Chain A
């Protein structure tokens, strides 16, 4: 039993009592005030936390009765588990934030304390009028705290806030009294019990006034200008309090009264949805930090009550603690933390945040909070969103899922843009030093978020703790980096290798195959990173997270585990790309497309889950959902991430603008994660005949990607860009091969995957070596390196031959078998595309060798030394891999055969043959000969055309073959995708600015909107009721 000292009534006694004592203590000295203030807040937090723990372990809800009578004759308050949880969150946040007001006047601390007490009252009370009183206590304390802002605009904002909230609470009072007039009840429990009888115009009007007020206090779009102005102008500490603690009280009040509004849940959900989408849309065009946070706050609250209302609609009681609790605590801590940080940094404009990166600690805190708000793992918002989507998908509420994901994407867009801004310090930026104490609450919030995230993960049904292994390893590497740089490098490499080896153990089937590939590729390529001598802050920790998550991916047993690891991969690679200032915009499109891909996946998993009722991936495999939607969403997600044509715009920048050794890792290893996913998704859905049409579409898309990627590769002058597009092209082959849904197709897919992993790793490292030694990265500035870098030349040659699918290396056979398989299926369009791609592929690969190594030397490149040993070592390992696969193909083939369930034989044409038999049955040579012959004929034709056109008068003779066809290449690859996505981005931003015009800054206009809002709520609900 909770001791009498820890009885929740003491929260109010401590709050009010210390409040009254503070003026007296002020006579004794400021230190006394601060000590009493902190002690009171700590006591309130402790009591709430003890209550929460007591209730969690099965304690009875604690009733607080007043006036010696039982309700309804007296007011009662209740501490149930939900109340205690929310109260603990609110008081803990208030306690952390208290550090910022310790030096203020004693009145500030007094108001702060009363405010927190009022919020607990709002949470605990079970009496409607008492709720009004606590709401007013909180409001008046807020007004007082807002007057701390001394700038004129802060005062204007406070007055607008006052006008709007006074109107809202007057209506709440009126609603309470009208409800009393209609029912004679003020006790909330009794009202809920009697809600069937609440009828008639007066009772309806009363309900609308209550609902309108609670929604308004949560700042719905468009009647929220007054709230945004306060978020923008108030001191960070106070804005944090309003955005987190006060919102917590109001939200809980709405949650408590939710049963009263049963008929209008859909209105609440719609209000939340509109607010979530529009707030984030307008957030896109913000230039001021706190205003941006304001939009984010308003949006998150919208999401929160949208989710709460929807879960009530589908009656998903079991999901409520995770979804509502998770979203709530996530926003509470992360938003408070960001406002605190904004207060500490105290730079109004977002652009002035540039250069924050000189303080890694500040940056780390900022990054954690941004990731939490954006709903990424491991923070609670992520698990809550997952559960939200799963719960709604099983009731077919797909529109609401789409709304939540759309809003989240918009929010992530401005948050990550902001984060990227802070990283790199512009020349002439002012020095700035934060105090350690001021950062304490920010990190407190971060730590609590991580803790709650772990709890939420457990609630979401994740019982595989090894999922967090990459993060823990990353943290350990960070710590080691503070000690010694070389130790950090060695430890990172060993962790990647040992961790990967450990993770591969116990994998089976296709998972094992991919796991082994990820392990081999990561272990080899990570060695190459040693060639960079300088300190690389942040590089190794994120690299470890990236590669360990990637290697753990095939171990995922459930859709959730897979998705979590997939998001870890995305995040870690995003931060790695972002390390280079030049890669900022590339990283931005990378993260946006990756998140979109993730949202498609989460929706796809949720739909699959809804259809099968199972969470485990293997259940998905055997249950084989006949859902084209699930497969479509999963395929879309993986195709975005694989860089299929149309959504490939993120790819060249991400691969080309990142660090040279990172490019190799991204293109060779990380790009195989979506391929793995695609195989699993295809595997899961293959039984359904309906999938085969979809598969054909995916196959065509894959081959189109191959051609477009190849043509774009040929257009590039930049080596790394060429390799990036080549990567896109090769992934297209793999996608098409997976889509074949046949024995041959899948063997080819896995073969090409292994082949591309080794080859692209080698070639990107060649590029890294060339850039390192010459400092140049364009074909036009290079040439003749064969003499100075003969070993690299030989390696590049092996890579190019292996990639083009010519004998004798692995990959030979692969592409040609693919074409044969397509022929057998009658896929004529993909075949035509395949032949075209062969031609273009030959052209750009010949150019790669010719322009860099042969040709005339340019500049002083003949004196450069050979590539450094780490690069050569990594390349040697990869070449060894190619050789092993060439001479011992069974190493790949046997696991594939074993992995495929014979039951799929009906639709998956699976003969169960070994590679020798396949080669005997399908001879690749004729196909290859035909394709290469066609290509050579076409090349000859191109040559002839060039000779003819070059002789025409008025055309200057181009320097070489490739330059001559640049106009043609440009003509056949119009930048439709880039134009399209740029237009999408621009019009979204413009739409946001347009929607933002409702915020005129005029307080009376805002108040008028508040009235309109009440009228709108009334009309809409009346339309529903009558």
Chain B
């Protein structure tokens, strides 16, 4: 059911994102890391619902109610992916908004400048 290539691509993309958010010092690059991680997760979601050689989940023509489970791509993950993309967009937008305010506060985008509260 799962398309291996797409799945691995998605997971790799997530890892790249994680690497970026943990190693980059610039807040914008960190946000890009988060965006990559989000995109990777969306790809994984789509991969989860993919059926090899499947077609669109519309009961019409080749897909009948009887063979839908075998022939059609699972529509649920795709639908959820759309929701996740919307949410991801909002989150990235909020992060960028914070990046702007952080820059205004200290005139720098280096994450090292924002280690205020401790212990």
Q: Please give the residue numbers on chain A whose beta carbons come within 8 Å of chain B beta carbons, in ascending order.
A: 129, 132-133, 136, 139-140, 143-144, 147, 152-153, 155-160, 162-163, 166-167, 170, 173-174, 177-178, 180-181, 186, 228-229, 232-233, 282, 285, 291, 993, 996-997, 999-1004, 1007-1008, 1011
Contact = CB atoms under 8 A, between A and B. Distances in A.
A173 B115 CA distance: 29
Given A155-B105, A997-B119, 8 more contacts: A143-B91, A147-B98, A152-B106, A158-B98, A1001-B115, A1002-B115, A1003-B114, A1004-B22
Contact of A1000 (B22, B106, B118): B118
A167 B38 CA distance: 9
A186 B102 contact: no
B28 interface: no
A282 B1 CA distance: 49
Contacts of B57: none
A456 to B, nearest CB: 35
Interface in B77-119: 77, 80, 83-84, 87, 90-91, 94-95, 97-99, 101-102, 105-106, 111-112, 114-119
A421 to B, nearest CB: 20
A177 B80 contact: yes
A229 B99 CA distance: 17
22 contacts: A129-B83, A136-B91, A140-B90, A147-B97, A155-B102, A155-B105, A158-B98, A162-B91, A162-B95, A163-B30, A166-B91, A167-B21, A170-B38, A170-B41, A177-B77, A180-B77, A181-B2, A1003-B111, A1003-B115, A1004-B21, A1004-B22, A1011-B18
Contacts of B90: 136, 140
B interface bracket (residues with beta carbon within 8 Å of A): 35 or more
B48 to A, nearest CB: 4
A1002 B111 contact: yes
B119 A1004 contact: no
Contact of A232 (B1, B37, B117): B117
B101 A999 contact: no
A1013 to B, nearest CB: 14
B1 A181 contact: yes
B27 interface: yes
B38 A140 contact: no
Nearest to A226: B117
A132 B86 CA distance: 13
B21 A133 contact: no
B100 to A, nearest CB: 10
A160 B101 CA distance: 14
A714 B90 CA distance: 74
B119 A999 contact: yes
Contacts of A177: 41, 44-45, 48, 77, 80
Contacts of B116: 152-153, 156-157, 229, 233, 1001
Contacts, number: 119
B102 A163 contact: no
Contacts of A153: 116-117
Nearest to A174: B41
A1004 B114 CA distance: 10
B92 to A, nearest CB: 9
A1003 to B, nearest CB: 6
Given A143-B94, A156-B102, A178 B48 contact: yes
B98 A162 contact: yes
A989 to B, nearest CB: 13
Nearest to A1002: B115
Given A163-B34, A170-B38, A228 B117 contact: yes
Most buried by B among A147, A156, A177, A282: A177
A652 B22 CA distance: 56
A692 B45 CA distance: 69
Given A133-B87, A140-B90, A1000-B115, A163 B101 contact: no
Interface string B55-94: 0000000000000000000001100100110010011001
Contacts of B117: 153, 156-157, 228-229, 232-233, 291, 999, 1001
Contacts of A157: 116-117
B76 A180 contact: yes
B102 A1007 contact: no
Given A152-B116, A159-B27, A170-B37, A180 B91 contact: no
Contacts of A1002: 111-112, 115
Nearest to A157: B117
Nearest to A1005: B115
4 shortest interchain CB distances as A-B pairs: A1001-B115, A153-B116, A156-B114, A229-B117
A789 B79 CA distance: 93
Contacts of B87: 133, 136, 140
Given A177-B44, A177-B77, A181-B1, A159 B102 contact: yes
B101 A173 contact: no
Nearest to B42: A173
Nearest to B1: A181
Given A228-B117, A1002-B115, A140 B102 contact: no
Contact of B91 (A140, A155, A178): A140
Given A173-B41, A174-B41, A1007-B22, A159 B48 contact: no
B119 A996 contact: yes
Contacts of B80: 129, 177
Contacts of B48: 177-178, 180-181
B34 A152 contact: no
Contact of A155 (B22, B34, B101, B119): B101
B102 to A, nearest CB: 5
Given A158-B98, A163-B34, A174 B115 contact: no
Contacts of A162: 91, 94-95, 98
